[in-house]
Amino acid sequence: MPEFCTCGTKLVEDARFCHRCGRPTSEEFIEEVAVAPVPPPVAPSLQEKLAQLPVNFSNPIAMRVALLMSVAIIPVEMMPFLSMLSIVWWLGAGWCAVLLYRRLTGSVLSIRAGARLGSITGILTFLGYAIGITIGIVAAGKEFFSQLEKQSPDVSQVVNDPTMLFAVILLAMAFLFAFVVAICAAGGALGARYVGRKTNRPV
């Protein structure tokens, strides 16, 4: 054992540590403490990241699901007999959007989030309707308005007045927008409530 520590202090006989600096007097007295390695933080998976996103227009999964549902029901409603059940299809679109979102992300939406997802589906559905109606009117041209005049003579006053015609079309589109979005949002809320009950059901 050395007589002096590396700090210059004279060591006491048989001392294991320097009484001044605390340095061990010999390597045999150094206790190696095994420190368990800290595992690196596990990065969340893509599915977990998507599940944590709020349901809005910036959520890619929500937008994909809403677009898929809106595209799916528009052709169905174009059929003559099935078009009479539009409310059912709108409710079903909101409901199925929540179920599909649950399958893709694994997250259970709240009733409010389900309603938001349903409303996004309704907005995209309305846009599809608006595009289809516009294309149909443009393709029909004057024949469309002439048929309306034949069905109701009062319509001629609206058709011949561009300002009134624009106001009527705008009002009708606003009503259709509110109705479609409300029904789809109700379907999404009901779907979220159903999924929540099914998930919390005891086995």
Range of the domain at 97: 47-200
Are residues 105 and 23 part of one domain? Answer: no
pLDDT tens, position by position, 151-196? 565 666 665 666 776 787 788 889 989 999 999 999 999 999 988 8
- Taking CB atoms within 8 Å and a gap of at least 24, the contacts of 12-21 are none
Residues 107 and 191 in one domain: yes
As a 3-state breakdown, the chain gives helix, strand, coil percent values, each rounded to 5, of 65, 0, 30
In a shared domain, residues 94 and 69: yes
- Supply 145's token pair: 């308005």
Task: Report yes or no on 9 lying in a domain.
Answer: yes
Give me the residues paired with residue 4 across strands: 10
Q: Are residues 157 and 117 in the same domain?
A: yes
Residue 41 is assigned to a structural domain of this protein:
no
Asked whether residue 143 falls in the same domain as residue 165, the answer is yes
- Give domain status of residue 97, yes or no: yes
Q: Do 8 and 104 lie in a common domain? A: no
> Which two structure tokens, joined as six digits, stand for 34?
């095994």
For residue 40, tell me if it sits in a domain: no
Question: Mean of the per-residue pLDDT values for the chain?
Answer: 77
Q: Which of 91, 97, 62, 108 is nearest to 181 (CA)?
A: 91
139 plus 75 within the same structural domain: yes
5-9, 122-126, 137-141, range with the lowest pLDDT: 137-141
C-alpha triplet 166, 168, 172: angle, nearest 5°: 115
Total number of residues shown for the chain:
203
Could you tell me if 22 and 79 lie in one domain?
A: no
Q: Is residue 42 part of a domain?
A: no
The answer to whether residue 99 scores a pLDDT higher than 90 is yes
Q: Name the more confident of 23 and 182.
A: 182
pLDDT of residue 192: 92
- From CA 162, how far away is CA 91, in angstroms rounded? 35
Tell me the whole-structure pTM to 2 decimals: 0.66
Give the pLDDT confidence of 25-52 residue by residue, as tens digits.
666 544 543 445 666 766 656 556 666 7
